[in-house]
A and B are shown apart, each in its own frame.
Chain A
Amino acid sequence: MKLSDEAEEILETLWISAKEKKQNVDLNYLKLARDDPPVKELLNLGYIAILGDETQLAGRGRKEAESIVRRHRLAERLMLDVLDLKKELMNEAACKFEHLLYKEVEESVCTLLGHPKVCPHGKSIPRGRCCGKMDRAISPVVSSLIELDAGQRGRIVYLHGKNDKELQKLMAMGILPGMHIQIIQKFPSYLLQIGQTQVAMDEKMAEDVYVRRER
């Protein structure tokens, strides 16, 4: 059964509050009342529970919410990396898109994008089934550098640094979005060519460079 868009928005807000901001939410904050249709819809399904002032995810609601967040963030990546949309447009478009993305489509999009780990805002994207299997049935447009073979080239789309320092290191080596990069070898360590510079790095760091494949 398909949830209403409003109900999905509520689940998404609850998930982000609970998992990332670590705070509880009451209905007033969401400008909702107990008998609004989307709230009732969720209560009937047992997806949320209301205890006093607090609204919490319950039962299958947790899984459902996580999947919505995942779709929203995947949609953002799709807008930015593949469709090249401007950042201002991205959020709005992604909000609409998340409701249209069905499970099967979601996996395809995730695969197409090379199973990204973070959204363009740096928040983590909940993992899906396809990420574990690293499905490559559809050949991805954007992928982590380590998915490329020695000799292949790409254009850097974004960096997924675990922290400031790591980003700064990559940037110091000239590894920045927009630059062309080629993998010279992958073993025993990665050897990359950017312009006339060669850089050696381990797999852990190369993994964080996402590129669009080039011929």
Chain B
Amino acid sequence: MTPKKLVIVGSPNVGKSVIFNTLTKRYVTVSNYPGTTVEVMRGKAKIEGREFEVVDTPGMYSLSPMTEEERVSRSILLIEKPEIVLQVVDAKNLERMLPLTLQLIEAGLSLVLDLNFMDEAQKLGMKIDLSGLEAKIGIPVVATVATEGKGFNLLKKRLAGYSQRSAQSVDYDQIIASSIREVENLLKGTYPISKRSIITLLLQEDAEIESLVRLKEVQDYPSIKRIIQETRNRYSHPMNYVFGLYRQKKASQIADLVTTPSSFRNLGPGERLSRWMMNPFAGLFIALLTLFGLYLFVGVFGAQISVDFLEKVVFGRYINPFMIEVVRRTIPWHFLQNLFVGEYGIITLGIRYAIAIILPIVATFFFAFSIIEDTGYLPRLAMFVDRFFKKIGLNGRAVIPIVLGFGCDTMATITTRTLETKKERIVASFLLALAIPCSAQLGVILALLAGKPKSFSIWAGVVALNFLFMGYLASRVLPGEKPLFYMEVPPLRWPKLSNVLSKTYSRVEWYFKEVLPIFVLASILIWAGKITGVFGLVIRGVEPLVRGIGLPSEAAAAFLYGFFRRDFGAAGLFDLAKRGGLSGVELVVAVVTLTLFVPCIAQFSITIKERGLKTGLAMVAFIFPFAFLVGFLLNLALNLLGVKL
């Protein structure tokens, strides 16, 4: 017997993932939905002796998608023909979430409704009459406190023993109702959801559904289109507003009947902390504190303590000597030995870098980021910085890719696609490429400037100034509408360790799949470049530039390697500085230039993939000379002012 498919849907922040994790203990896979970067989790579950395939979908607010996430969730509902759909809602916000329930019922899906966070609702003094609600909308209703595992017995019973009842949906006015009747008679094809639902989406100008209907109703499409057009013309408001009002009216009616509203306002410790986070003064303090904590955990524990241990002890004492021995014995030719264990060898450089330096930094960063994400701090930070971000052509939402950029600029560039306007996406990817050092690079830079607070402040100041100034300029120069900012602010919650760990794991796994091959490739390229003498030529080409900003010629190699990995470059400088090859001023100039300098190969290729070849190349064509110009000016200024570092 093939397993039944169970799809979990609901708005963001209602606890879908926790319910998914509780139902599916085995064989969970995370994969990108075809053609997107949206992650979809799938797993197997045995519920009351029956096999289910369970799918966890990204958050959706309605059947009319606004974001890529919502589009994926709807596609899953339309294409994968689930036997049962479980809608999870936040019990506290039943009135706001019922419109989606009504839409899913209208679509003819076999729906079970789960009111999650029942404990939070009760704490607020809300009472919800579950059997009343069940009777009123005609689908099975259950209540859970997913984080504590409460309510799952009944939920499982309802899922396994699902039986269709006559469910209640929305009533519309005469005009819409008669247009639904007319078009229903014309729709001859078979559809994954009810015809009524298809027609309401047509009326709401849903392009995807329009092309589906055009495909299936070759003959009658013109008449369908005419009826739809005429109906739309009779309303002065956009149709999604009209439908939204009808759904909300019905939802409020139902909610009024079955809930006793909360009698007092929630001003517990969580709420008070939440207000502080968004307060102009306390908020700034909390943001700085968070950054400092992040620095301690990632910059000190990850980039210094863990890296030291892995690099010096694990690789330095055990792996490298062992591999060198093995390679020397099995490969007789010296130049081939170098490919694996030479100065830039695949094992001694590529893999050592990936595992001993990058892994601890990236893993600690993603761990910390997942905790921050799960507490619900990010939307508060976004709201806090929005006014300021508007000045650099972004909106508060962009704080997520920018903060993520301090972990990995490549991954951050991918997430810029969640930004709404093209202009924001370009500005954000540009700033990521120019002025946001990734955790790997940051780790080495912090080590370089350790114990030199003056140098550190000059570096941080110049880079931050560039970020602000170039963002401001880009927002002025680039055409495009001003972005709007809106975001739901979920209550602050304690992160769940298992959730944090699984998120960190999947991010680190992604990072490795993408990055390890590039490291190996970079080692091979550097090896080949050195053997053929191509590198020598390129380095000689870069040398005048490097001397132009007052650095010794040896630094040229660092800049070239910097393109393969941003931190290769920084590490090159590190070696140079350790040998005493750089004066204080030279060091700061070199580090600033390298930070601004072109992104690494991975980020470069992702930028081109996401923003297009022309935009990607234009960015590099600007950043390359610009980084050297800033280096030149900084060197000039420091020398003129006679700054000693």
| Residues of A that sit less than 8 Å from B by CB | 120-123, 159, 161, 163-174, 176-179, 184-185, 187-189, 191, 194-202, 204-205
Contacts and interface: CB of A to CB of B under 8 A. Distances in A.
A88 to B, nearest CB: 12
Interface centre among A166, A196, A200, A202, by most B CB within 10 Å?
A196
B275 A172 contact: no
Contacts of B487: 199-201
B486 A202 contact: yes
Contacts of A191: 278, 383, 489
A196 B488 contact: no
B262 A196 contact: yes
B61 A189 contact: no
Interface centre among A166, A185, A201, A202, by most B CB within 10 Å?
A202
Given A168-B240, A172-B61, A188-B388, A196 B485 contact: no
A167 B252 CA distance: 19
Contacts of A173: 486, 488
B517 interface: no
A211 to B, nearest CB: 16
Contact of A199 (B252, B382, B489): B489
A202 B66 contact: no
Interface stretch (B88-96, B463-471, B499-507): B88-96
27 contacts: A165-B66, A168-B64, A169-B66, A169-B484, A169-B486, A172-B62, A172-B66, A178-B252, A189-B386, A191-B489, A195-B92, A195-B95, A196-B93, A196-B124, A196-B262, A197-B96, A198-B489, A198-B490, A198-B491, A200-B278, A200-B488, A202-B386, A202-B484, A202-B486, A204-B484, A205-B485, A205-B486
Nearest to A203: B387
A202 B482 CA distance: 11
Interface string B266-279: 10000000110011
A167 B274 CA distance: 27
B244 interface: yes
B155 to A, nearest CB: 22
The 9 closest A-B pairs by CB, nearest first: A121-B236, A200-B383, A174-B96, A172-B61, A196-B92, A201-B486, A198-B489, A202-B485, A171-B244
Contacts of A184: 275
Nearest to B241: A167
Contacts of A167: 238, 240-241, 244
A200 B379 contact: yes
A121 B242 CA distance: 12
A178 B252 CA distance: 9
B248 interface: yes
B42 interface: no
Contacts of A174: 93, 95-96
Q: What is the interface of chain B mostly: helix, strand, loop, or mixed?
A: helix
Given A167-B238, A177-B245, A202-B386, 12 more contacts: A161-B238, A167-B240, A168-B64, A178-B248, A188-B384, A189-B384, A189-B485, A191-B278, A196-B92, A197-B96, A198-B491, A205-B484
B248 A176 contact: yes
Nearest to B96: A174
B387 A189 contact: yes
Nearest to B271: A198
B388 A194 contact: no
B396 interface: yes
A204 B481 CA distance: 12
A195 B488 CA distance: 13
Interface in B476-520: 482, 484-491
Contacts of B61: 172
Given A172-B66, A188-B387, A199 B488 contact: yes
B418 to A, nearest CB: 14
Contact of B280 (A178, A187, A202): A187
B485 A201 contact: yes
B390 interface: yes
Contacts of B382: 200
A33 B421 CA distance: 53
Contact of A200 (B92, B124, B205, B486): B486
Contacts of A121: 236-237
Contact of A197 (B380, B386, B488): B488
Nearest to B482: A204
B395 interface: yes
Contact of A159 (B241, B380, B486): B241
A3 to B, nearest CB: 28
A191 B280 CA distance: 13
Contacts of B486: 169-170, 173, 199-202, 205
Contacts of A187: 280, 387
Contacts of B484: 166, 169, 201-202, 204-205
Interface centre among B237, B241, B280, by most A CB within 10 Å?
B241
Contact of A188 (B124, B280, B395, B491): B280
Interface centre among B96, B388, B489, by most A CB within 10 Å?
B96
B238 A164 contact: yes
Interface centre among B92, B238, B249, B275, by most A CB within 10 Å?
B238
Interface in B229-274: 236-238, 240-241, 244-245, 248-249, 252, 262, 266, 274
A159 B489 CA distance: 21
B226 to A, nearest CB: 21
A161 B248 CA distance: 18
Nearest to A121: B236
A176 B245 contact: yes
A202 B391 CA distance: 13
A176 B249 CA distance: 10
Contacts of B385: 188
A161 B487 CA distance: 17
A171 B11 CA distance: 13
Contacts of A161: 238, 241
Contacts of A185: 275, 278-279
Interface in B411-445: none
Contacts of A188: 278, 280, 283, 383-388
A202 B395 contact: yes
Contacts of A205: 484-486
Interface in B15-67: 61-62, 64, 66
Contacts of A166: 484
Contacts of B241: 159, 161, 164, 167-168, 171
Interface string B194-237: 00000000000100000000000000000000000000000011
Nearest to A167: B241
Nearest to B97: A174
Interface centre among B237, B274, B279, by most A CB within 10 Å?
B237
Nearest to A204: B484
Nearest to B380: A200
Contacts of B93: 174, 195-197
A179 B386 CA distance: 26
A194 B66 contact: no
B488 A189 contact: no
A122 B239 CA distance: 12
A184 B487 CA distance: 15
Contacts of A171: 62, 240-241, 244, 248
Contacts of B388: 188
A202 B390 contact: yes
Contacts of B395: 202
